[in-house]
A and B are shown apart, each in its own frame.
Chain A
Amino acid sequence: MKQPIYLDNNATTPLDPRVLEAMLPYFTEKFGNAASRNHAFGWVAEEGVDYAREEVAKLIGCTEKEIIFTSGATEADNLAIKGVFEMYKEKGNHIITAVTEHKAVLDTCKHLEKNGARVTYLGVKEDGLIDLAELEAAMTPETILVSIMYGNNEIGVIQPVKEIAAIAHKHGALFMTDATQAVGKIPVDVNADGIDLMAFSAHKMYGPKGVGALYVRRKNPRVKVTAQMDGGGHERGMRSGTLNVPGIVGLGKACELCRLEMESEAIRLSALRDKLESTLSKMEESYVNGNTQHRLPHVANISFKYVEGEGLMMAMSDLAVSSGSACTSASLEPSYVLKSLGLSDDLAHSSIRYGLGRFTTEAEIDQAIEVTQKAVNHLRELSPLWEMFKEGIDLSKIEWAEH
């Protein structure tokens, strides 16, 4: 078994060898610029892009003309939100999003606030889902865009996208979703879901880094976004820049594989995830974070109380996982997503995210369970909080010296 075991597939996924194989010719003999209309090199490159566009469209149930290739989901989020804000200025300046969104959405919204946007950041319930009544109440005639993510990157909860879209549309607003964690993992159909704009990236679905896409609806309604980069007018004028042909082909191949394998893969991964989660949550004072009914098949987020997340990851050096602990970032603040569920800071500090993927095996999950149990028990032996808990001391009654 390869060590360490990779269980951080929400951060990024390994490139599938079949994807690499599809990409390779586009670095060498098929190196042409897809915009070169007058010779075979250009045509061959364009064929690759056409194939990819078709595969991406098939995976999410749209037409090829609705796909704008970008450098990734962050760029797609920026293009969608800034582009809609500029394009629909006349109609209004209000945007609604949620506190658990990825920074690519939150920071884009914050940027727009400096340029005259009014942004509502919806809170979430303790299971991580937004309250639809709260969304409805936040809608105004000036609301031009509702941007709510499909599946959350930290806890994996899936928002009620269809219902959110219906509320947005009822009030004449567009619905945009960052579906980076969902596309390729669960069925996403832009028409069934009522999505107007959708951002996603290749490297979360076994494709290469540095390429992603924005879906922009062309019918009912026809959505337009203002370009954020000036140049040659590629991608129907919405995203200038020479197309990253090998990357785009990789995205296309990744989408094709996901379309063909996603269904059986979701069943396999959720069984492995459930095994991991049910075993670990049987440990004393461990808690599963987020809604367990509406969520992605491959994510588990568990807090092991009285143990600090970074210390725990160090004890589990055989596992590549991530933690909501402050110590893993420069900010010293624990995960804002976990805090927004109403989790106390100490539980947020004690959380570990396991992200399973296409190459995760049952043997690896068995070992992950064993390593985690051993590490948690070891660190609890070192933990004064665990000792106090065991002695029946109420930790909330202690006056801690905050520092």
Chain B
Amino acid sequence: MAYSEKVIDHYNNPRNVGTLNKDSKFVGTGLVGAPECGDVMRLQIEVGEDNVITDAKFKTFGCGSAIASSSLATEWLKGKTIDEALAIDNMDIVEELALPPVKIHCSVLAEDAIKSAINDYRVKNGLEAIALEKSHH
């Protein structure tokens, strides 16, 4: 299967690879997927004043599309408010990276990772977790 140029770019030059201090109350961590399924994403956000995401990092075990989806997600998250981040839809990722149908689950996983990181941050800061839509797969 041929990859789009954008997937190859993110794959070759992944943005924001790394780890934030998961114990910090300003950091939310989302760990989604399963090794048995062939993809695991860990996405972290650091939230500053006014609910603005000041930093985002990821590490992903998975195929090129999974790595590119999470790399793109971290790029988009930086500078967004939590509410704006919650509005990111997996189909935005599909469109941006031109993912083929068989790779849509990678974008779904990235959306799940964003929401799960936000929830981790909310719970740490005494807020209720937001009910997540059941994954579309």
B60 touches A384 (CB 8 A): yes
Closest to B8 in A: A314
A345 touches B63 (CB 8 A): no
A311 to B62, CA, bound (A): 6
Residues of B within 8 A of A400 (CB): 33-36, 40
B87 at interface, CB cutoff 8 A: no
B109 touches A403 (CB 8 A): yes
A327 touches B36 (CB 8 A): no
B38 touches A384 (CB 8 A): no
Closest to A401 in B: B32
Known: A307-B61, A308-B62, A403-B137. A382 touches B32 (CB 8 A): no
A315 to B63, CA, bound (A): 10
Residues of A within 8 A of B112 (CB): 401, 403
Which of A330, A346, A387 is the one whose CB lies under 8 Å from B35? A346
A346 to B62, CA, bound (A): 11
A383 to B11, CA, bound (A): 13
A315 to B14, CA, bound (A): 12
Chain B 96-124, CB-CB to A under 8 Å as 1, else 0, gives 00000010010011001000000000000
B35 touches A311 (CB 8 A): no
A325 at interface, CB cutoff 8 A: yes
B59 touches A311 (CB 8 A): no
Chain B 1-31, CB-CB to A under 8 Å as 1, else 0, gives 0010000000100100101000000000001
- Grouping DSSP codes into helix (H, G, I), strand (E, B) and loop, the A interface class, with mixed when no group exceeds half, is helix
A381 to B35, CA, bound (A): 16
Question: What's the least CB distance linking A241 to chain B, in Å?
Answer: 34
Which size class do B's interface residues fall under? 20 to 34
A206 at interface, CB cutoff 8 A: no
- Grouping DSSP codes into helix (H, G, I), strand (E, B) and loop, the B interface class, with mixed when no group exceeds half, is mixed
Which of B11, B39, B135 is the one whose CB lies under 8 Å from A308? B39
A309 to B61, CA, bound (A): 10
Which of A306, A315, A327 is the one whose CB lies under 8 Å from B38? A327
Chain A 332-372, CB-CB to B under 8 Å as 1, else 0, gives 10100000000011100100000000000000000000000
Residues of B within 8 A of A326 (CB): 37-38
Residues of B within 8 A of A315 (CB): 11
B41 touches A308 (CB 8 A): no
Residues of B within 8 A of A307 (CB): 61
A158 to B108, CA, bound (A): 42
Closest to B108 in A: A403
A35 to B33, CA, bound (A): 60
B67 at interface, CB cutoff 8 A: yes
A385 touches B17 (CB 8 A): no
A334 touches B33 (CB 8 A): no
Residues of A within 8 A of B3 (CB): 314
CB under 8 Å from chain B, chain A span 116-169: none
Residues of A within 8 A of B79 (CB): none
A395 touches B35 (CB 8 A): yes
Closest to B34 in A: A400
A325 touches B63 (CB 8 A): yes
Residues of A within 8 A of B34 (CB): 400-403
Question: What's the least CB distance linking B90 to chain A, in Å?
Answer: 12
A308 to B62, CA, bound (A): 5
Closest to B14 in A: A382
Residues of B within 8 A of A386 (CB): 61
Besides A382-B67, A384-B31, A403-B135, 13 more A-B contacts (Cβ < 8 Å) are: A308-B61, A311-B11, A311-B64, A332-B37, A334-B38, A381-B17, A382-B17, A384-B60, A385-B61, A386-B61, A402-B34, A403-B37, A403-B108
Q: Write the residues of chain B forming the contact surface with A, with a CB cutoff of 8 angstroms.
A: 3, 11, 14, 17, 19, 31-42, 59-64, 66-67, 102, 105, 108-109, 112, 135, 137
Q: Which 9 A-B pairs have the closest CB atoms?
A: A400-B34, A346-B35, A345-B36, A384-B42, A310-B63, A384-B59, A349-B38, A314-B64, A327-B63
27 contacts between A and B (CB under 8 A): A306-B61, A307-B61, A311-B66, A314-B3, A314-B63, A314-B64, A325-B38, A325-B63, A326-B37, A327-B62, A330-B102, A332-B37, A346-B38, A381-B17, A382-B14, A382-B17, A383-B59, A383-B60, A384-B31, A385-B35, A385-B40, A385-B61, A401-B112, A402-B37, A403-B37, A403-B109, A403-B135
